[in-house]
Amino acid sequence: MTRTAIVTGAARGIGAAVAQRLAADGHAVGVIDLDEAACADTVAAIADAGGRALAVGADVADSAAVAGAVSRVADELGAPTILVNNAGIIRDNLLFKMTEDDWDAVLSVHLRGAFLMSREVQKHQVEAGWGRIVNLSSTSALGNRGQANYAAAKAGMQGFTKTLAIELGRYGVTANAIAPGFIVTDMTRATAARIGVEFEQFVEFNAKEIPVGRPGHPGDIAAAAAFFCSAEAGFVSGQVLYVAGGPRA
């Protein structure tokens, strides 16, 4: 059955891969990112493959922008019943160097953004009596040096997810989280730059620590998201799936 999905932070990386996978599964996709023009490549890839997509620029931490974005998707693609909260930023630093702005920015985009998007989309899901919410957490939720803000946000996403599952389950809406491990993206490239390591060396070093012997790629996360968004996953809710190549990755 064709449904309408929204993927945030979908201009590139994991978000773009998820948007393209959901489109390949037959869904129309609202591609949301801070810069609407930056969504063009993702929308073009979906259109070239025969799918339907709409680029929408919105700050997910701004309630008015979120309401406008979801309304636009509903008007142009149909009421959204699938939501993937992927938008995120990093402002890495050791605790004694971390500024209040670093903390607030990361918590705002990840947690406030997921809250605002979920609150807006659940209206359509409850009305339809069916819905899927997938939140992006991270293995950093377990703690990671230099990422007190990011780790706190990603741990918060897990508690948020489990609460959504409890509150929305009676309306046919499931909520699950994916916690990626080391994934080759612009964000991990930025981490390598922050610590002064060549990206190729950074990838090679991290791959050695992963039991399956390779780094993750956005498509690995998209595959997990596709399952959680499927009709067959209706009895799976409130779960956190670590997609990390092994239990300690």
Does 43 lie in the same domain as 163? yes
CB atoms within 10 A of CB 158: 18
Residue 232 lies in a domain: yes
Does 222 lie in the same domain as 211? no
User: Residue 112's domain is classified under what CATH number?
Assistant: 3.40.50.720
**What percentage of the chain has pLDDT greater than the value 70?**
99
Does 225 lie in the same domain as 105? yes
Which among 21, 179, 36 is positioned nearest to 5, based on CA atoms?
21
Does 129 lie in the same domain as 190? no
Residue 205: give the domain boundaries. Answer: 182-215
Q: Is the pLDDT of residue 249 over 70?
A: no
Give me the count of residues in the chain: 249
Q: What is the pLDDT of residue 9?
A: 98
Does 29 lie in the same domain as 61? yes
CB atoms within 10 A of CB 207: 17
Does 111 lie in the same domain as 16? yes
pLDDT digits (tens, 9 = 90+) for 68-127: 999 999 999 999 999 999 999 999 999 999 999 999 999 999 999 999 999 999 999 999
pLDDT digits (tens, 9 = 90+) for 52-68: 999 999 999 999 999 99
Q: What is the pLDDT of residue 106?
A: 98
Catalytic residue positions, numbered: 150
Q: Is the pLDDT of residue 248 over 70?
A: no
Does 239 lie in the same domain as 192? no
Q: What total of structural domains would you count in the chain?
A: 2
Distance CA 240, CA 136 (A): 9
Residue 45 lies in a domain: yes
